[in-house]
Amino acid sequence: MSPFSLMSYLTQCSAVKFVKKAFGEIDVKAILQRLDRLTQDEARTTARQTLEVVYGLIQNMSVVMDGKQMHSACSPTSIDCLSL
């Protein structure tokens, strides 16, 4: 075992002991479980938002394919169209 890997191992062991002593082993587990739950909630929220965007795009594509005209606030015939 090289001196560097021995030092790394001892440092990691010391860090784990410090965290367990400072926060308590149960607290560390609870924090990790909460972080995992938040990560899962974030993934669900992202998936929901992505599905909403895809659904909106499909709806718009259906309108275009059906040949219906969409009314836009900035259409060429609109009087209130603001130029940039």
Sign of the alpha-carbon torsion through 45, 51, 52, 54: positive
pTM metric for this prediction: 0.43
- What is the DSSP secondary structure assignment for residue 33, as one 8-state letter? H
**84 part of a folded domain:** no
Residue 82 lies in a domain: no
Residue 47 lies in a domain: yes
Q: How would you class 28 by CB atoms within 10 Å of its CB: exposed for 0-12, middle for 13-18, buried for 19 or more?
A: middle
Q: pLDDT averaged over consecutive 10-residue blocks of the chain (84 residues)? A: 65 71 73 85 93 93 77 50 46
Whether residue 46 lies inside any domain: the answer is yes
- Per-residue model confidence as pLDDT tens digits over 46-63: 999 999 999 999 999 988
Number of domains in the chain: 1
Looking at the domain assignment, is residue 80 inside a domain?
no
Looking at residue 4, what is its pLDDT? 63
Domain that holds residue 28: 24-62
In a domain, 75, yes or no: no
* Residue 7 belongs to some domain of the structure: no
Q: What is the DSSP letter of 75?
A: -
In a domain, 33, yes or no: yes
